[in-house]
Amino acid sequence: MRLELQKITKQFPGVLANDRISISVDKGQVLGLLGENGAGKTTLMNILSGLYKPDSGKILIDGKERIFRDPAQAIDAGIGMVHQHFMLVPVFDVTESVVLGNEPTKGPLGSFDRATARAQVAELSKRHGLHVDPDAKIESLPVGVRQRVEILKALYRKSDILVLDEPSAVLTPQETEELFEIIRGLARGGTSVIFITHKLNEVIAVADKITVLRRGAVAGETIPKKATAAKLAEMMVGREVQLTVSRSKSKVAEPILQVKGLNVLNDAGGLAVNSATFDVRSGEILAVAGVQGNGQTELVEALTGLRLVDSGTVVLEKKPLHAGSPREIAMAGVAHIPEDRNRDGMVKGMTIAENYILNTYHLPQFNKNGLLNRKAIAAATEQAVKDFDIRTPSISTDIASLSGGNQQKVIVAREFSRNVRLVIAAQPTRGLDVGSIEYIHRRIVEQRDAGAAVLIVSTELDEVLALGDRVAVMYEGRIVGILDAKEATRERVGLLMGGITK
Amino acid sequence: MNKRKPVAAARAKTTTSAPAKRSVSVGDGADAHQQLIASRVRAGLFALFTLLSLAITAGSAGVEGNFAFWVDKVGGTDVAFSVPVVLLWAAVTAGFGAMAALQLVRGASFRWRLAIGLVSPVLVFALLTRLLDGTTANLTVFFTSTLLYTVPVGIGALAGIVSERSGILNISVEGKLLFGAMIGSIASSITGIAIAGPIAGAIFGALVSLFFAWLCIRYRVDQIIAGTVINIGALGVTTFAYLRILQPYSEFNRPIGITPIQIPFLSDIPILGPILFSLSPYFYIAVGFVLFFTYMIYRTRWGLRLRAAGEQPNAAGTVGIDVVKLRYRAMLVAGLLAGFAGSYISLSGTGGFGINTSAGQGFIALAAVIFGAWNPIYAFGAALIFGMTSSATTLLSGLGVLIPPQILLSMPYIVTIIVVAGLIGRVRAPASAGRPYDQG
Amino acid sequence: MNGLKKFGSKIRIPALSISVALLVGALFIIFTDIEVLGGLLSDPIGALSLGVGRAATAYSALFRGAFGDPENIGKALASNGDIKLWARALRPIVESVVASVPLIFVGLGVSVAFRTGIFNIGGAGQYTMGAVGGTIAALVFGAGVTPAPIAILLVMIFGVIGGAAWAFIPGYLKARVGASEVITTIMLNFIAGQFVFFLVSNFEFIQKPPRNQPVSKELSQFVDLPGILPIAALRLDISIIIALLTAVAVSWFLFRSTRGFELRAAGLNLAAAKYAGIGAGTSIITAMLISGAISGLGGALVAVGTIKQLSPGIGGSVGFTAIAVALVGGTRPSGVVATALVFGLLQHGGSLMQVETSIPIEMLLFIQALVIAFIAAPELTLGILKNPFRRRPRSVGK
Each residue's pLDDT tens digit, C201-239: 888 888 888 888 888 888 888 988 888 888 877 888 899
Q: What are the residue ranges spanned by the domains of chain C? A: 100-348
Neighbouring-strand partners of residue C227: C237
> What band does B78 get if pLDDT is binned at 50, 70 and 90?
low
Rounded Cα–Cα distance for residues B337 and B198 (Å) = 10
Residue A403, min C-alpha distance to chain C (Å): 18
A–C interface: beta-carbon pairs under 8 A: 65
Highest mean pLDDT among A336-340, C5-9, C125-129: C125-129
Residues B277/B263, Cβ–Cβ less than 8 Å:
yes
pLDDT of the residue at B139: 75
pLDDT of the residue at B174: 94
Rounded Cα–Cα distance for residues B374 and B365 (Å) = 11
Print the SS3 string covering B146-215. Answer: HHHHHHHHHHHHHHHHHHHHCCCCCCCHHHHHHHHHHHHHHHHHHHCCCCHHHHHHHHHHHHHHHHHHHH
Residues C111/C329, Cβ–Cβ less than 8 Å:
yes
Print the SS3 string covering A346-387. Answer: CCECEEHHHHHCCCCCCCCCCEECCEECHHHHHHHHHHHHHH
Rounded Cα–Cα distance for residues B360 and B356 (Å) = 8
> What band does B27 get if pLDDT is binned at 50, 70 and 90?
very low
Q: Is the dihedral of CA B72, B77, B83, B88 positive or negative?
A: positive
Residues B42/B103, Cβ–Cβ less than 8 Å:
yes
Is the model's pLDDT at B141 over the cut of 60?
yes
The model's pLDDT over C78-136, given as tens digits with 9 standing for 90+, comes to: 887 788 888 888 889 999 999 999 999 999 999 999 999 898 989 999 999 999 999 99
B149-423 folds as ABC transporter involved in vitamin B12 uptake, BtuC (1.10.3470)
Give the closest residue to C132 by CA, choosing from C74, C205, C64, C181: C205
Is the model's pLDDT at B72 over the cut of 60?
no
Residue C330 — φ and ψ, nearest 5°? 65, 25
Q: Is omega for the bond preceding C210 within 30 degrees of 0, making it cis?
A: yes
Instruction: Report CA-CA distances (Å) from B32 to A308, B15, B26, B231.
Output: 11, 10, 10, 37
Global pTM value: 0.84
**Residue A327 contacts C where some CB pair is shorter than 8 Å:** yes
pLDDT of the residue at C182: 84
* Surface of C (114-133) touching B: CB under 8 A: 119, 121
Domains by residue range for chain A, with CATH: 3-237 (3.40.50.300), 244-333+421-502 (3.40.50.300), 345-417 (no CATH)
Percentage of residues in chain C having pLDDT higher than 90: 45
Q: Which of B27 and C77 is assigned the larger pLDDT?
A: C77
Q: Is the dihedral of CA C378, C383, C384, C390 positive or negative?
A: positive
Percentage of residues in chain C having pLDDT higher than 70: 95
Instruction: Report CA-CA distances (Å) from B410 to A118, A448, B172, B386, C171.
Output: 50, 63, 21, 11, 20
How confident is the model over C301-320, as a mean pLDDT?
A: 88
Rounded Cα–Cα distance for residues C136 and C161 (Å) = 12
Contacts C177 to B, Cβ<8 Å:
23, 34, 421-423, 426
Instruction: Write down the mean pLDDT value for chain A.
Output: 88
CATH number for C100-348: choose from 1.10.3470, 3.90.25, 2.40.160, 1.10.3110.
1.10.3470
Residues C379/C96, Cβ–Cβ less than 8 Å:
no
Indicate the DSSP class of residue C140. H
The model's pLDDT over A385-409, given as tens digits with 9 standing for 90+, comes to: 999 988 888 999 999 888 888 899 9
- For residues C350-367, one letter each, b for 16 or more C-beta atoms within 10 angstroms of the residue's C-beta and e for the rest, the string is bbbbbeebebbbbbbbbb
Residue B176, min C-alpha distance to chain A (Å): 27
**Residue A152 contacts B where some CB pair is shorter than 8 Å:** no
Rounded to 10 degrees, the C-alpha dihedral C26/C30/C31/C32 comes to 100
DSSP-derived 3-state class of residue A258: strand
Instruction: Report CA-CA distances (Å) from C79 to A265, A434, B155, C74, C82.
Output: 81, 81, 65, 9, 6
Contacts of A164 by beta carbon, 8 Å cutoff, 6+ apart = A82, A183, A193, A194, A195, A196
> What band does B402 get if pLDDT is binned at 50, 70 and 90?
low
Is the model's pLDDT at C52 over the cut of 70?
yes
Q: Across the interface, which of B29, B300, B308 has its CB nearest the CB of A265?
A: B29
Q: Containing H/E element for C115?
A: helix C83-115
Rounded Cα–Cα distance for residues B385 and C319 (Å) = 29
Instruction: Report CA-CA distances (Å) from A166 to A36, A197, A198, B17, B247.
Output: 11, 5, 7, 34, 67
Q: Across the interface, which of B30, B32, B312 has its CB nearest the CB of A89?
A: B312
Indicate the DSSP class of residue A58. E
**Neighbouring C-beta atoms of residue A265, cutoff 10 Å:** 29
Residue A106 — φ and ψ, nearest 5°? -145, 160
Q: Which of A314 and A176 is assigned the larger pLDDT?
A: A314
The model's pLDDT over B164-215, given as tens digits with 9 standing for 90+, comes to: 999 998 989 999 999 999 999 999 999 989 899 999 999 999 999 999 999 9
Q: What are the residue ranges spanned by the domains of chain B? A: 27-134, 149-423
**Neighbouring C-beta atoms of residue A72, cutoff 10 Å:** 17
How confident is the model over B78-98, as a mean pLDDT?
A: 79
The model's pLDDT over A56-103, given as tens digits with 9 standing for 90+, comes to: 999 999 888 988 888 889 988 999 989 888 889 989 999 999 999 889
Residues C126/C163, Cβ–Cβ less than 8 Å:
yes
Rounded Cα–Cα distance for residues A385 and A394 (Å) = 9
Radius of gyration of chain A (CA): 24
B423, closest residue in chain C (CA to CA): C177
Give the closest residue to A316 by CA, choosing from A257, A255, A254: A257
Is the model's pLDDT at C246 over the cut of 70?
yes
Rounded Cα–Cα distance for residues C282 and B207 (Å) = 42
The model's pLDDT over B286-318, given as tens digits with 9 standing for 90+, comes to: 999 999 999 999 999 999 999 999 999 989 988
The model's pLDDT over B406-440, given as tens digits with 9 standing for 90+, comes to: 777 777 788 778 777 765 555 667 778 777 777 64
Which of B214, B410, B424, B427 is the best mutation test for C, with the most CBs of C within 10 A? B410
pLDDT of the residue at C392: 38
Amino acid at A115: A
* Surface of C (30-89) touching B: CB under 8 A: 32-34
Q: Which of A36 and A287 is assigned the larger pLDDT?
A: A287
Q: Which of B289 and A236 is assigned the larger pLDDT?
A: B289
Q: Across the interface, which of C258, C271, C277 has its CB nearest the CB of A327?
A: C277
**Residue C97 contacts B where some CB pair is shorter than 8 Å:** no
Rounded Cα–Cα distance for residues C317 and C343 (Å) = 12
B–C interface: beta-carbon pairs under 8 A: 158
Instruction: Write down the mean pLDDT value for chain C.
Output: 87
Rounded Cα–Cα distance for residues B117 and A293 (Å) = 40
